[in-house]
A and B are shown apart, each in its own frame.
Chain A
């Protein structure tokens, strides 16, 4: 296995008028080349902020923790993302080794520049292709992602394309520079379910063909089950569980993951009542002490979970959960 990405102790805070708020708290994970990692969480869980940190795309009021280490392993050796400062340095990762696709493709394309010109521009920033070559490569990519009549589409603007078509064009653009890591932030959430199925299929084909690693951010566990090799579940800035997709979805260990699965309406049994997780997600300004989930957890241990932050405990091979139910403190 080729290690592609190491994230260690990622902590990220934002300075705001209301004080410093913690968006990501001590998150560590790894990704192999050619694998898809699903990053799941609800609003405010910090999943998008985590992904953007990999490209240092967060705004200026972001403060990274001192032990934060992000290493991207490229052919010429590892790149220490945290040490990249100037925009020239950052070009190596932004749009180069790492590409990102977003939820709303209409907002990601410039409205007054043709799809083709945008694709050519980014190819010329990251490679030394001639305009003619860049045009050929772009049209080829559009064709590859299943856009019919690619040379016509190349000359069109984003508003002339349908939603599904735009998301395909976005994927074509993100992949044309042959990134090693693709970050997909809710790429199918705005799409209809039949189009979502097409895009998921396309992404799977592309992983097989290009061999890049993907971080797939979504709130939809069903999409994760159909695409990811491994899953990391986030809640209020902390990773609460991670492991292989089958393990986590079939044998969830953390009460939050269990709650998420129970709250999901499933089609194979219509008689199961929907079980919501009680309460609301606390505001990031009022992060609970101890385990971040303790205020909504039905099995919280009195006097322990509201005080001590649980460490990761091994549940099965490669499967870990951060919950006191599995730590030595509780077993005692």
Chain B
């Protein structure tokens, strides 16, 4: 796998203005704030966080599906380079072929009035990627086979399919334009456990076979741990920690990451009560606390955390953490 960077993000912010709020300043949702990130070509990059952390917005920003407020996003696949903040209309059209999204809900994402063949073929027709119907059919069949859908399936309508099969149809639709970069937003969250494993294995094998780069957005750390090779943790619009998967799960540095890992219900009934509990809830992104965004819930927050926002600090081993106290806590873990 090449070490080339496919997506590089510098100081990215996405703000949304809210309507109303009476006189004076309109409230602004700072969904993503000052994010630096590099996604290597060919990687399976995980983005985790709770609701309101900004993970979906960050994913959409990388697809140029939301307006970027500040910062730079560069896409470079070796063939073309795009600066997503200043991309022109014709370039954006081309970028849409190269970057695709797989949605969460396989029930809402597929039109009930189209056959599976038409659903998968639509992106090809809209983007004008094929010239004849035969060519379209050929492309559809090829990708359908990769997603384990047979010719019989292609003739049917989505209602005839189970959740797992529908998600395979969504995947085929996203992949038919032969993209390089895929954003998968909670793509297995709506599936049953026995089916989820199947879809995860499929994504992974397709990624390797087609040499794709994935941004895999999820709230489920155990899923991310199994499928991704690199993980970034978000909290209230900021990246708090990024590291190779194994490194992150074996030696988390940020108190938030530690708490998240500890909150996952263990399958061992004798682990009861061992989880380290976080108090309170994630603050509103319209009114984030000063200093470190996690300070209101952090068990080890001190004075500086309430005043100054920590920067993402390199700790070695491709591991970055945004915490004033990571070094200190490393020496005295009890804090």
Contact = CB atoms under 8 A, between A and B. Distances in A.
Interface of A: 42-43, 162-165, 192-198, 200-201, 219-223, 225-226, 245-246, 249, 259-261, 263-267, 270, 273-277, 280-281
Among A259, A265, A273, chain B packs the most CB atoms within 10 A around the CB of A265
Nearest to A280: B162
Contacts of A259: 194
B194 A277 contact: yes
Contacts of A219: 192-193
A240 B11 CA distance: 53
Interface string B271-283: 1100101100110
A163 B51 contact: yes
A260 B249 contact: no
Contact of B267 (A194, A197, A221, A281): A221
Contact of A267 (B165, B264, B272): B264
A197 B277 contact: yes
Contacts of A221: 193, 267
B162 A196 contact: no
Contacts of A246: 269-270
Interface stretch (B62-70, B86-94, B197-205, B312-320): B197-205
Contacts of A222: 264-267
B236 to A, nearest CB: 12
A42 B225 CA distance: 23
Nearest to A248: B269
A162 B197 CA distance: 31
B267 A225 contact: yes
Given A225-B266, A263-B197, A264-B267, A193 B246 contact: no
8 contacts: A42-B195, A193-B263, A225-B269, A249-B268, A261-B267, A264-B193, A267-B225, A276-B198
Given A162-B281, A192-B50, A193-B260, A265 B194 contact: no
B269 A192 contact: no
B260 A280 contact: no
B194 A270 contact: no
Nearest to B246: A270
Given A226-B272, A246-B270, A280-B164, 20 more contacts: A42-B194, A43-B192, A165-B281, A193-B260, A195-B281, A197-B277, A197-B278, A201-B277, A220-B265, A225-B267, A225-B269, A245-B269, A246-B269, A249-B268, A261-B267, A263-B193, A263-B196, A264-B267, A265-B200, A276-B194
Contact of B265 (A225, A245, A263): A225
B11 to A, nearest CB: 27
A188 B249 CA distance: 24
Contacts of B164: 280
Given A225-B267, A260-B193, A276-B197, A265 B226 contact: yes
Nearest to B282: A192
Given A163-B51, A270-B226, A280-B195, A193 B264 contact: yes
Contact of A223 (B225, B265, B270): B265
Contacts of B245: 270
Main DSSP-derived SS at the A contact region: helix
Contacts of A267: 221-222, 225, 249, 261, 264
Contacts of B260: 193-194
B329 interface: no
Interface of B: 50-51, 162-165, 192-198, 200-201, 219-223, 225-226, 245-246, 249, 259-261, 263-272, 275, 277-278, 281-282
Nearest to B222: A265
User: Which 6 residue pairs of A and B lie closest in terms of their CB atoms, listed nearest first?
Assistant: A222-B265, A276-B198, A277-B194, A276-B197, A192-B50, A274-B197
B190 to A, nearest CB: 10
A226 B263 CA distance: 11
B292 to A, nearest CB: 17
Contact of B263 (A194, A245, A275, A281): A194
A265 B200 CA distance: 10
B162 A193 contact: no
Among A165, A197, A198, A245, chain B packs the most CB atoms within 10 A around the CB of A197
B75 to A, nearest CB: 30
Contacts of A200: 265
Contacts of B275: 197
A228 to B, nearest CB: 8
Contacts of B162: 280-281
Contacts of B281: 162-165, 195
A275 B265 contact: no
Contacts of A220: 265
Nearest to A273: B201
Contacts of A260: 193-194
A193 B219 contact: yes
A263 B165 CA distance: 17
A189 to B, nearest CB: 10
A83 to B, nearest CB: 36
Among A162, A200, A249, A276, chain B packs the most CB atoms within 10 A around the CB of A276
Given A197-B275, A197-B277, A219-B193, A274 B201 contact: yes
Contacts of B259: 194
Contacts of B270: 246
A47 to B, nearest CB: 12
Contacts of B282: 192
B53 to A, nearest CB: 9
Contacts of B196: 263, 276
A246 B174 CA distance: 43
B201 A226 contact: no
B287 to A, nearest CB: 13
B192 A42 contact: yes
A63 B225 CA distance: 45
B226 A274 contact: yes
Contact of A275 (B51, B197, B271, B277): B197
A166 to B, nearest CB: 11
Contact of A196 (B246, B263, B268): B263
